[in-house]
Each structure stands twice: as structure tokens, then as C-alpha cells.
Amino acid sequence: MGYATEHIATALKNARAARRLSQRALSELTGVPQSHISRIESGSVDLRVSSLVELARVLDLELTLVPRKSVPAVNSIVRSTGSTPSRPGEHTAATRKQLKRLQVDLDELLQKYPVNTELAQLQRQIRDLQNFGFSVIDLGKLRDVNRAIVAFANDHDIEGLRDTLIEAQNLRNAAAHRAASAAPADIVRPAYTLEEDL
């Protein structure tokens, strides 16, 4: 497999994973057979332009021919933009639910270990995240923090909890910086929420 083909296959696979789509789900959305998607991602088949166009459309990617000398600039821009959620509002709803779940888990742990300062600090960091628009919070990192909390509940690893506290502080700081640089329309929060939305 050539470098260009390998790069395209990797980009498609990463975009699919970022949107949490299985190959089967992507197949249903694009009409490209799942077995063909698997071969494309593994690099064992040459891409047909029609398949590539359809996969790119569903994965919110754009196919463009770029002059070779402009590739470094384009790659830099692509890296700086990161990935976007697959549907408008999906990220914020998932983030809201993840924060609520994390708060519930922390409340339960603090009832069991009321003198644990790391848990109390972690709870403050998670509460601080509520002050930012959900769209500026990194959902993947929030899920990592939640997994670490569950792991602490199971094995009581205090070092792991300290690392998680640092991750939560970094997550809160990153959200604060994003919120400060985001346009006001990006950080609008609803005036109220229904309990089942949380």
C-alpha cells in the first residue's frame, strides 16, 4: 500500500472512530458494503472514487486536491481544528450526561470516603466544568476521568486518583481557555434543563 493510500485509509478509520460509528453503521449510512469498508481501512483494496466520496460525505470530510507545496499548511490547519461531533448538539448532550454521571459517582464515593481530599478537589473541578458551555468540554477526556473514578471505586488506587485529579484540572483549564476564545454563540447555555436531560 502506498503512503497516500495508507494516509487516506487511516484518516477514514480515525474519522469513523471519532464519530463512534462501527463499520456496519457506516455501511448503512453510506451504502458501501461493510466488507469493503474493512478492506479500505486495512489497505487491502484500491479505493474507488465513488466509495471515497460517499464515505467522506458521511464522515463530514471534504475531498480536495491540494498543491504538494501547500500540504504542510493544510495539515497544520487540519490538526488545529480537531474533530467535530457527527450531529449538531450530540456532543453537548453527551457531555451533559457524562458530567451528571461523574457527579453522581463522586457524591457516592465522598459518602464512603468523606476525608479524602483528592475526591473533594476532583468534585470541585467537575463542578467548575458546569460553568462552561458544554461544547467547549473535551468529552473524551471527561469519559477518561469517569473511567478512572470507577477504577478507584473498585481498587482504591490513590496514585491513580491523584493522576485523575491532575487530568481533571487540565480538562477544566482547557475548557476555560476554549470558552474564553469561543464566540459567544458557541457557549450559550440553556436557561433551564429537565432532569431527564441531565
Assess whether 63 and 122 both reside in one domain. Answer: no
Assess whether 43 and 117 both reside in one domain. Answer: no
Assess whether 70 and 111 both reside in one domain. Answer: no
End position of a domain, from candidates 55, 81, 107 = 81
Q: Which of 89-93, 140-144, 181-185 has the lowest mean pLDDT?
A: 181-185
Assess whether 94 and 180 both reside in one domain. Answer: yes
- Measured in degrees and rounded to the nearest 5, phi and psi for residue 192 equal -155, 165
* Residue-wise pLDDT tens digits, 122-175: 888 888 887 777 777 888 888 888 888 888 888 887 888 888 888 888 888 887
Q: Which pLDDT does position 139 carry in this prediction? A: 80
Assess whether 73 and 102 both reside in one domain. Answer: no
Assess whether 108 and 186 both reside in one domain. Answer: yes
* Residue-wise pLDDT tens digits, 159-173: 888 888 888 888 888
Assess whether 119 and 75 both reside in one domain. Answer: no
Q: Which domain holds residue 98?
A: 90-197
| pLDDT tier, 77 (very low <50, low <70, confident <90, very high otherwise) | confident
Assess whether 74 and 119 both reside in one domain. Answer: no
Query: By CB neighbour count within 10 A (0-12 exposed, 13-18 middle, 19+ buried), where does 58 fall?
Result: buried
Assess whether 76 and 37 both reside in one domain. Answer: yes
Q: Which pLDDT does position 2 carry in this prediction? A: 60
Q: What is the pTM of this model?
A: 0.46
Assess whether 187 and 110 both reside in one domain. Answer: yes
End position of a domain, from candidates 54, 81, 108 = 81
Assess whether 67 and 103 both reside in one domain. Answer: no
End position of a domain, from candidates 48, 81, 114 = 81
- Give the three-class secondary structure for 101: helix
Number of domains in the chain: 2
DSSP string for residues in 3-70: HHHHHHHHHHHHHHHHTT--HHHHHHHH---HHHHHHHHHT-SPPPHHHHHHHHHHTT-------GGG
Q: Which pLDDT does position 193 carry in this prediction? A: 58
Assess whether 68 and 151 both reside in one domain. Answer: no
User: 48 with 5: CB under 8 angstroms?
Assistant: no
* Residue-wise pLDDT tens digits, 55-65: 888 887 877 87
